Structure 1
Amino acid sequence: MEYNFFPEIKIKEKVQTWVGGMSISKKINDEADKLTHNVITIEIYPGVSTERFNRELVPSLHADVLIDSRTIFYGSDKLEDLIQATLTQDRVFGRFGGHSFSDFIDKDQLEKCHKQIEDALSNNKRVVIMGVAASLVYPSDMIIYADIPRWEIQKGFKSGVLSNWQADNAGDDFLAMVKRGYFFEWPMADKQKQDVYSKVNYVIDSLREDWVMVSQESFSVALKEVASQPFSLVPFFDPGVWGGHWMQETFDFRKDDINLAWSFNGVPEENSIILNFEGVKMEVPANTVVFFEPKKLLGDRVYGRFGKEFPIRFNFLDTIGGENLSLQVHPTTSYIQETFGAHYTQDESYYILQAKPGAKVYLGLNNGVKEEELIPALERAASGGESFDDKKFIYQQEIKKHDHFSIPGGTIHSSGADSVVLEISATPNRFTFKLWDWDRLDLDGKPRPVHLEHGAKCIDYSRDEDWVKDQLVNPFEMIEKQEGWLEEKTGLHETEFIETRRFTFTEPIKLETKGSVNVLNLVDGTEAWVESLAGEFEPFYIHYAQTFIVPDSVSSYSVRPTEKSKSEKLKLIQAYVR
Structure 2
Amino acid sequence: MRISNYDKYPATALSGFMRCGWDDIVSSFSEELSVHPVLAIETYVGIHEAEIETALDTLRPSLFIRMRDLYKSEDDVRALTQRFVTDDPIFGYRTALTLVDFFDSDKLAAAKRLVAQSAGITVVVGAGASLIVPDTACLVFADLARWEHQERMRRERVTALGIDNHKEAFSSQHKRAYFNDWLVCDAHKEQLFAKVSYWLDTHIPHQPKLIDADTFMSGIQKTVSQPFRVVPYFAPAPWGGQWMKEVFDLDKEEVNYGWCFDCVPEENSLFFTVNGVRFELPSINVVLLESRALLGEVVESRFGKDFPIRFDFLDTMGGGYLSFQVHPTTDFIRKQFGMNYTQDESYYMMEAKPDATVYLGLRNDIDRDQMSADLRAAARGELVFDAAKYSNRLPAAKHDHFLIPAGTVHCSGPEGVVLEISATPNHFTFKMWDWERLGLNGKPRPINVERGLQVIDWSRDTDYTMAQLVNAVVPIAQGDGWVEEKTGLHANEFIETRRHRFTTTVKHDTLGGVQVINLVEGEEVIVESEEGRFSPFIVHYAETFIVPAQLGAYTIRPYGLSAGKMCTTLKAFVRV
- How high is the TM-score relative to the length of structure 2? 0.97
The match for 1:128 among 123, 130, 135 is 123
CA drift of 1:413 comes to 0.4
- Residue 574 of structure 2 is aligned to residue 577 of structure 1: yes
Tell me what 2:64 maps to: 66
Tell me what 2:382 maps to: 385
Q: Superposition pairs for residues 130-529 of structure 1, below 5 Å?
A: 130-140=125-135, 141-208=137-204, 209-529=206-526
Give me the whole-angstrom Cα distance separating, in 1, the residues matched to 2:9 and 2:167. 29
Matched-pair contact (CA < 8 Å) for 2:33–2:121: no
CA offsets 1:217-237 (integer angstroms, 9 cap, x no match): 331122111111011111110
Taking structure 1 as reference, are residues 395 and 129 closer, same or farther at Cα in structure 2, changes over 3 Å only? same
Give me the whole-angstrom Cα distance separating, in 2, the residues matched to 1:114 and 1:223. 32
Give me the whole-angstrom Cα distance separating, in 1, the residues matched to 2:276 and 2:128. 31
Tell me what 1:46 maps to: 45
Tell me what 1:31 maps to: 32
Give me the whole-angstrom Cα distance separating, in 1, the residues matched to 2:539 and 2:549. 19
CA offsets 1:536-576 (integer angstroms, 9 cap, x no match): 11111111000111101111111111131124311100111
CA drift of 1:161 comes to 2.6
Give me the whole-angstrom Cα distance separating, in 2, the residues matched to 1:134 and 1:100. 14
Aligned length: 570
CA offsets 1:209-255 (integer angstroms, 9 cap, x no match): 53222222331122111111011111110111100001112223211
CA offsets 1:401-424 (integer angstroms, 9 cap, x no match): 000011000000011111000000
Secondary structure in structure 2 of the residue aligned to 1:16: coil
Secondary structure in structure 2 of the residue aligned to 1:564: helix
The code of the aligned residue for 1:89 comes to D
Q: Mean alpha-carbon deviation: is it higher for 205-214 or for 295-304?
A: 205-214
CA drift of 1:484 comes to 0.8
Secondary structure in structure 2 of the residue aligned to 1:7: coil
The code of the aligned residue for 2:169 comes to D
Give me the whole-angstrom Cα distance separating, in 1, the residues matched to 2:521 and 2:74. 51
CA offsets 1:129-148 (integer angstroms, 9 cap, x no match): 10112112333511101101
- Residue 21 of structure 2 is aligned to residue 20 of structure 1: yes
Matched-pair contact (CA < 8 Å) for 2:18–2:275: no
Tell me what 1:79 maps to: 77
Q: Mean alpha-carbon deviation: is it higher for 364-373 or for 512-521?
A: 364-373
Give me the whole-angstrom Cα distance separating, in 1, the residues matched to 2:18 and 2:250. 32
Secondary structure in structure 2 of the residue aligned to 1:145: strand
Tell me what 1:547 maps to: 544
Give me the whole-angstrom Cα distance separating, in 1, the residues matched to 2:167 and 2:470. 43
Matched-pair contact (CA < 8 Å) for 1:369–1:461: no
Cα RMSD (Å) of the superposition? 1.3
Matched-pair contact (CA < 8 Å) for 2:12–2:219: no
CA offsets 1:508-544 (integer angstroms, 9 cap, x no match): 1111112211111000011111111211111111110
Percent of residue pairs bearing the same amino acid type: 42
Give me the whole-angstrom Cα distance separating, in 2, the residues matched to 1:181 and 1:296. 28
The code of the aligned residue for 1:34 comes to V
Q: Mean alpha-carbon deviation: is it higher for 66-75 or for 457-466?
A: 66-75
Matched-pair contact (CA < 8 Å) for 1:162–1:171: no
Give me the whole-angstrom Cα distance separating, in 2, the residues matched to 1:110 and 1:332. 42
CA offsets 1:289-345 (integer angstroms, 9 cap, x no match): 000011111111111110011000000000010000000000000000011000000
Matched-pair contact (CA < 8 Å) for 2:102–2:161: no
Give me the whole-angstrom Cα distance separating, in 2, the residues matched to 1:225 and 1:469. 45
Give me the whole-angstrom Cα distance separating, in 1, the residues matched to 2:442 and 2:560. 49
Secondary structure in structure 1 of the residue aligned to 2:571: strand
The code of the aligned residue for 1:194 comes to E
Matched-pair contact (CA < 8 Å) for 1:157–1:171: no
The code of the aligned residue for 1:45 comes to Y
Tell me what 2:7 maps to: 4
Matched-pair contact (CA < 8 Å) for 1:160–1:172: no
Matched-pair contact (CA < 8 Å) for 2:198–2:211: yes
Give me the whole-angstrom Cα distance separating, in 2, the residues matched to 1:240 and 1:482. 42
Give me the whole-angstrom Cα distance separating, in 1, the residues matched to 2:373 and 2:527. 52
Q: Mean alpha-carbon deviation: is it higher for 274-283 or for 468-477?
A: 274-283
| 5+ long unaligned stretches in structure 1 | none
Secondary structure in structure 1 of the residue aligned to 2:95: coil
Give me the whole-angstrom Cα distance separating, in 2, the residues matched to 1:293 and 1:207. 23
CA offsets 1:424-445 (integer angstroms, 9 cap, x no match): 0000000001011011111111
Give me the whole-angstrom Cα distance separating, in 2, the residues matched to 1:110 and 1:145. 19
Matched-pair contact (CA < 8 Å) for 2:200–2:209: yes
Give me the whole-angstrom Cα distance separating, in 2, the residues matched to 1:77 and 1:501. 52
Secondary structure in structure 2 of the residue aligned to 1:66: strand
Tell me what 1:108 maps to: 106
The match for 1:89 among 87, 90, 96 is 87
Provide runs of 4+ in structure 1 moved above 3 Å: none
| 5+ long unaligned stretches in structure 2 | none
CA offsets 1:356-382 (integer angstroms, 9 cap, x no match): 112111101111124312211100000
